[in-house]
Structure 1
Amino acid sequence: MMADEYVWLICDEVPNAVVLTDPGPYPIEVVKLLHRRTGLSLWHSKSLISRLPATILEDVPREMAEAAVRELLEAGAHAEVRR
């Protein structure tokens, strides 16, 4: 008879998500940024900002999430990193 074995995967990093909460005063710039960052079409990027809050990146490392939030803030948008 074989013993049951359980394996626990230990991750040093918890997956993060980037959530857009407000496109700010320059929504066209935010749409372009979303297009570049996510690879979505411009149409899909525009539809994301019409349904806020919107998760634009999921399961990314903390550094990537923080970089995306910085870019969004520089474009005038409001965004945050969530776990």
Structure 2
Amino acid sequence: MPEYVELVCDEMPLSVVVLDPGPRAVEVTKVLRRLTGLSLWHSKTLISSVPATVLEDLPEDAAATAATALREAGALVEVRRQPMSPAQS
């Protein structure tokens, strides 16, 4: 009789994607700078080229915290699961 095995991943990496900076782009830029450590110029450039993945390879709690901070600043944000690469599987 064949045996079936189901693989369960503990935690898939997540990305935080800014879809729209909203009406308070300056506030969103400041929050992004605080979260990523990027310079103000790089943060502004990233926000002006939306949709933009601003953080990658985060655990679920860190992604949720970052998304909440960006939403509170006025941005439209999405948390996406990253597909696993063949090297990770």
TM-score (norm 2): 0.80
What stretches of structure 2 of length at least 5 have no aligned partner?
Answer: 1-7, 82-89
Following TM superposition, by how much is the alpha carbon of 1:50 offset from its aligned partner in structure 2, in angstroms? 1.1
Partner of 1:73: 71
| CA distance in structure 1 between the partners assigned to 2:55 and 2:64 by the alignment | 11
Q: CA RMSD in A?
A: 1.1
Q: Deviations over 1:15-70 (max 9, x none)?
A: 00000000011000011001000000000000001111000000000110011111
Which segments of structure 1 move beyond 3 Å, counting only runs of 4 or more? none
In the TM superposition, 1:2-21 aligns within 5 A as 11-21=9-19
What does 1:1-83 align with in structure 2 at a 5 Å threshold? 11-83=9-81
Distance in 1 separating the partners of 2:36 and 2:27: 14
TM-score, structure 1 as length reference: 0.85
Aligned residue pair count: 74
> Gaps spanning 5+ residues in structure 1: where?
1-9
Shift of 1:11: 4.8
Q: Percent of aligned pairs with the same residue?
A: 61
